[in-house]
Amino acid sequence: MFSTSTAPPAGSKAIASTALRNAGLIDKDTQMRDMTDKQGGRKGSSKISSHRHRPIDQFKNARPGSSSRTLTSSARISSSASHAGPSDPLSIRGASRPTAAGRMRRNAVSASGGSSSSSSLPTRVTITRGAKTIEFWREVVKKRWNPEIQFLNLESLIDDEVVKRHNLSSPGLGGGSAREAAVIFKLAGELKPPVKTLSLANNKLADLDFISGRKEKLLHLRELLLIGNPVRDFEYKNNRADRYKQELTRRFPSLEVLDSEPVAQISFDVQQAPAAIPVKKPDATTFPYPMSGSFITGVDGGLVSNFLVRFFALFDGQRGQLVDAYDPQASFSFSVNTTIPIRARVQGLHTSKELPNQRKLEWSHWLSAGEGGSRNLNRMHGGLERAVKSLHIGGDAAVKAFQTFPGTIHEIGGPPEKFCLEAFPVPLGANAGMGLLVSLHGQFTELPVDGVRSFDRTFLLAPAADGSRAKLNGWDVVILSDQWTIRAYSSPEAWKAGDLLVQAQAKSTSNGSASQNQLPQSVISSLPTEQQSALATIPEPQRNLVIQLMSRTNLNVKFAVDCLQNNEWNMDKAYANFEQVKATLGREAYL
């Protein structure tokens, strides 16, 4: 199901696809197919090798990889209508599906000006639409758009007079042309005010791949009708109505009514209308509050630290033993954020000498670990099945997932500045008692590579009841929820208590810098720890000079001290000296 095949546009002339591409209405590497593609001609494209014509395979079937995203096509509609003439709208072509994913299609041989009905040409003539087609579709959309009630009625397009008049190829028409649908949806997405109700009833749509709320920006769609389309009928007939509904609600997160049935959902009590009283636009240039240290309230700090120390000792050493710490209904999931952190990159943390193994770290085994993989709902392929599979319920399932992760060393008992914690009581629900929300941020060493990762782990805890499995195994609290995010290493300086800067501070110029007595704490605190320790050993007033030189030149403490010493602690001389020799300095001189 959810498959598609392409039907060539009915009887149109060859026009370069550039117009459409330039209008951003189709992807750069796609092309339209033409009704008049002849059998035995040469195929204009290939999934494998993009630059050669190959013998046409008009009856291309079941290309498993070619369906986008999660839904693999099962049946493909293949064509035996190789003799279909240009005027036959129901002719169905072999189902090679033009996906956006970088399929290189040659512009056809038909650049020859492509007469669409030249049956003498052995080559496959790919004919593309031009700007005119977009305008025709715009006409159709405009005709069927009711801005007052924000209703776009695209039902039964095949019977539409404008469609017929311009010989437009209706999406879903005997199999569907993805290009047409893409054009229509792009136009729909541009309508103002935004489309709230969309009907695509009775259009012979067999595939949903080309309609996606996010891509086509139908983000305000409240109601959708797909009755009378094979894509719906097929799923219902095969007892997959639930899956059909889920796939649609996933594509259109704002959907409230589908095929006249309400969609079960959770909303947030936020009005979309603009505020009655105008409010101040945010324009502050400084943070109103500094960074504070760990925050624990409403609970004995010892209870929290005992839990964490024991939990991570077991996680590092004997994961199986953690099974008792989880409530039978507890859920565990993990999520991997593979983005390279910008500040860490700017500081060169992952290529620094202190962390020699960062480059050896890989994400692949994390992403596929845990019997269901990383649970990043932002980019979940695999739909609902995957969302379910990557959520582990109960201690046994959690521990089973743990066994698939690389070894870890958390060192919770080690230097405390490497970790940061929030812990406070929270209601579990209306009339459901209180739990304890514990968020820990820190780092661990990943084995065997011996590289460092950063993590955030949030637990929802409840007191362990007497006689419960948790209590009997020495746990004072039981885990109700455990969500673990693993990301590339970032320095724990991020949460070092003190003032936070929005922008960098203006640097002092070389004249008059001597008057600056005390540099802000935050400049010092942004230095790596071992640099700060080195600085701490230098007495005033030399220390200030060292810091000044460091911030002007980016030299590290050792080299800044050398430079100043060699210049009798005269800042201007030292800086000039630096300028003279900086071309010869290696990386070891700098921060």
- Region 503-562 residues binding another protein, contact defined as CB under 8 A: 503-507, 526, 551, 554
Binding of another protein by 291 (CB under 8 A)? yes
Binding of another protein by 265 (CB under 8 A)? yes
- AA letter at 379: R
The region of 21-29, 41-49, 325-333, 404-412 touching another protein under the rule CB under 8 A is 325-333
Binding of another protein by 293 (CB under 8 A)? yes
Q: How far apart are CA 502 and CA 504, in angstroms?
A: 7
Binding of another protein by 270 (CB under 8 A)? yes
- Nearest approach, Cβ of residue 384 and another protein (Å): 5
Q: Where in 31-90 is the site for another protein (CB under 8 A)? A: none
Binding of another protein by 583 (CB under 8 A)? no
Binding of another protein by 348 (CB under 8 A)? yes
Q: How far apart are CA 196 and CA 160, in angstroms?
A: 22
Size of the residue set binding another protein (CB under 8 A):
115
Binding of another protein by 441 (CB under 8 A)? yes
The region of 13-21, 46-54, 158-166, 327-335 touching another protein under the rule CB under 8 A is 327-335
In order of 303, 378, 413, 423, 438, the CA distances from 309 in angstroms are 10, 31, 7, 15, 13
**Of 81 and 255, which has the nearer Cβ to another protein?**
255
**Of 48 and 264, which has the nearer Cβ to another protein?**
264
Q: How far apart are CA 27 and CA 100, in angstroms?
A: 6
**Of 109 and 291, which has the nearer Cβ to another protein?**
291
**Of 88 and 493, which has the nearer Cβ to another protein?**
493
Binding of another protein by 294 (CB under 8 A)? yes
Q: Which of 335, 358, 408, 556 binds another protein (CB under 8 A)?
A: 335
- AA letter at 556: N
**Of 55 and 290, which has the nearer Cβ to another protein?**
290
**Of 500 and 581, which has the nearer Cβ to another protein?**
500
Binding of another protein by 289 (CB under 8 A)? yes
Q: Where in 223-262 is the site for another protein (CB under 8 A)? A: 242, 246, 249-250, 253-254, 256-257, 261-262
Spatial CB neighbours of 529, under 8 Å, sequence gap ≥ 6: 417, 493
Q: What angle do CA 201, 205, 208 make, to 5 degrees?
A: 110
Of 334, 386, 374, 363, nearest in space to 69 by CA = 386
Q: How far apart are CA 185 and CA 179, in angstroms?
A: 10
Q: Where in 153-182 is the site for another protein (CB under 8 A)? A: none
DSSP 273-331: SPPSS--PPP--SS-SS-B---EE-SS-HHHHHHHHHHHHHHHHH-GGGGGGGEEEEEE
Q: Where in 414-433 is the site for another protein (CB under 8 A)? A: 420, 422, 424-433
Q: Which of 218, 344, 555, 564 binds another protein (CB under 8 A)?
A: 344
- Nearest approach, Cβ of residue 578 and another protein (Å): 13
Q: Which of 481, 524, 556, 574 binds another protein (CB under 8 A)?
A: 481
Spatial CB neighbours of 488, under 8 Å, sequence gap ≥ 6: 337, 338, 339, 340, 341, 344, 350, 453, 454
Prior bond of 541 cis (ω within 30°) = yes
Binding of another protein by 148 (CB under 8 A)? no
**Of 51 and 587, which has the nearer Cβ to another protein?**
587
Residue 369 has, within 13 A of its CA and on its CB side, a CA count of: 22
**Of 96 and 443, which has the nearer Cβ to another protein?**
443
Long-range (24+ apart) CB contacts under 8 A made by 155-162 are 155/199, 155/200, 155/201, 155/202, 155/203, 155/225, 155/228, 156/201, 156/202, 156/203, 157/203, 158/89, 158/203, 158/204, 162/136
**Of 256 and 450, which has the nearer Cβ to another protein?**
256
Rg (CA), the chain: 32
Binding of another protein by 585 (CB under 8 A)? no
